[in-house]
A and B are shown apart, each in its own frame.
Chain A
Amino acid sequence: MPDERLSVENLHLWRGDSHVLRGVHFTLERGACLEVRGSNGAGKTSLLRTLCGLMYPEEGRILWNGVDVRRDLAAFHSQLAYLGHEPPLKADLSARENLHYWIGVRRPLASAELDSALARVGAGSWSRRLVRTLSAGQRRRVALAALALLTVPLWILDEPTTNLDTEGQQLVGELLSQQLARGGIVVAAVHQGLPSAVREIRRLELAA
């Protein structure tokens, strides 16, 4: 992996009348993890969606390896994985089918690779059940399997540990540690703090 760097310069974002992001700036080098904290409505999700390029900031720039991401959004997107609040799963497809389509649109995916990612998150026994019959925690685990398959340099995660039991939270910690050890970059919005397996976390506190 070449030297990846995510820089955010003087980011300002308005949502209607509220000034959500007021001059956010940071730089993350390879292997860095940024934990974004803040009370409800402080703009954690807005910051993550702006980083992804889904939302347009009123002011400021986001640079990936020194290049403004707006210049080639598709190229930037192929380098990042974003997990939102809700796992983007279809209720009428099984966990396995969901991943087959979701990841397959992004990169070639072998069937064995898919199965072992599902087994890794503990979904081996229920990966062929329809997602509508799965619990919120199980759905989150399917999303983690997707993350394990997306070995891209930048992960942007919104509350990755929601709905997970202790074992599931450990799994998040493991996945994040591996991503950082690979030289990847992680930006995660959290409430309770990231699992302790992740060392050397930088923190960004958003004021409401």
Chain B
Amino acid sequence: MRPGSPASVLPSPGVAAVSAPDMRTASALTAARLALARDLQLAFRRPSQLVQPLAFFAIVTLLFPLAISPELSRLKFVAPGVLWAAALLASLLALEFLFRDDASDGTLEQYALSGQSLTGLMFAKTVAHWLLTGLPLALTAPLAAVSLGAPATAMPGVLLAVAVGTVPLSLIGSIGAALTLGMKRSGALLSLLTLPLSLPVLIFGARATQLAIGGASILAPVELLGALAVLAVTLAPLAAAAAVRISLE
């Protein structure tokens, strides 16, 4: 189709004055949904990046029986700590890529200039990050727990604790990832920024896992993890958006 043919989007110069341009804007929800769908589609085009944190998590948890002792009764004691330290590091591993590509190809710039709330778009990106790392980790963690000697009855509790706990991990990480955007090799600084803030998650998460393995109620620590998640949902996207704006200057 050549320019100016009837089906082309813009009217040809002669008739331009009579046609009103389309000035509607997309709703904030549509914008966030598209940003989320885009990140998911991109991730499935490059599955290696998707598998990496999971493989890391699986390998770390499988190394402990080799290093400590294959005796399940002893492994059971270290299982909560092992699971959560591994989950924390695996989630960190994927963070570096959260904004990196979008910053280098100009996507973040277009997001910042889209007229949409950058906070909403950052939240959508973080949700995508959780769906791609937190959720798979939560689904793998019960299996890892059983391989470390936890009873099968502990599996639902472990799944719940990791699923809830990785939400604040992704969100806290998004602040760190946005703050280190201007740097070439940000890995070390990113962990220095993110890990101290993630300690409450580690503590309550490990406690919940410990209680689940012991067969007790995990309600209290999971509620605290939920509170951390709510706090992170309300504050982290704001901070990440502000950090992204600074990086664009």
Residues of A within 8 A of B (CB): 1, 52-56, 74-75, 77-80, 82, 84, 86-93, 97, 100-102, 104-108, 113, 116-117, 119-120, 124, 148-149, 151-152, 171, 174-175, 177-178, 181-183
Contact = CB atoms under 8 A, between A and B. Distances in A.
Nearest to A184: B21
Given A74-B117, A80-B113, A90-B42, A124 B1 contact: yes
Given A55-B249, A113-B9, A120-B9, A181 B17 contact: yes
Contacts of A101: 34-35, 37-38
B185 interface: no
Interface string B30-42: 1100110110011
Given A181-B13, A182-B21, A75 B115 contact: yes
A169 B234 CA distance: 47
Nearest to B20: A1
Given A77-B114, A116-B8, A90 B24 contact: no
Contacts of A105: 26, 30-31, 34-35, 110-111, 114, 116, 121
A151 B21 contact: yes
B184 interface: no
26 contacts: A54-B112, A54-B248, A77-B112, A78-B115, A82-B109, A84-B106, A91-B105, A93-B45, A105-B30, A105-B35, A105-B110, A106-B115, A106-B116, A107-B24, A107-B25, A108-B26, A108-B30, A116-B9, A117-B8, A117-B9, A119-B1, A120-B3, A120-B9, A151-B10, A181-B13, A182-B17
Contacts of B112: 54, 77
Contacts of B105: 86, 88-91
Contacts of A1: 20-21
Interface size class of B (residues with CB under 8 A): 35 or more
A56 B249 CA distance: 7
Nearest to A156: B113
Contacts of B114: 77-78, 105-106
A77 B41 CA distance: 27
B99 to A, nearest CB: 14
Q: Is the interface of B mostly helix, strand, loop or mixed?
A: loop
Contacts of A54: 109, 112-113, 248-249
A60 to B, nearest CB: 16
Nearest to B31: A105
A174 B11 CA distance: 11
Interface in B71-127: 101, 105-107, 109-117, 121
B30 A104 contact: yes
B116 A74 contact: yes
Contacts of B45: 92-93
Contacts of B30: 104-105, 108
Given A90-B101, A105-B34, 4 more contacts: A75-B115, A84-B109, A92-B42, A93-B38
Nearest to A149: B9
B126 to A, nearest CB: 16
B113 A77 contact: yes
B16 interface: yes
Contacts of A182: 16-17, 21
B24 A108 contact: yes
Contact of B26 (A87, A106, A178): A106
B188 interface: no
Contacts of A100: 34
B63 interface: no
Contacts of A107: 22-26
B25 A102 contact: no
Nearest to A147: B10
B8 A178 contact: no
A101 B32 CA distance: 10
A51 to B, nearest CB: 11
Nearest to B4: A174
B68 interface: no
Contacts of A108: 24, 26, 30
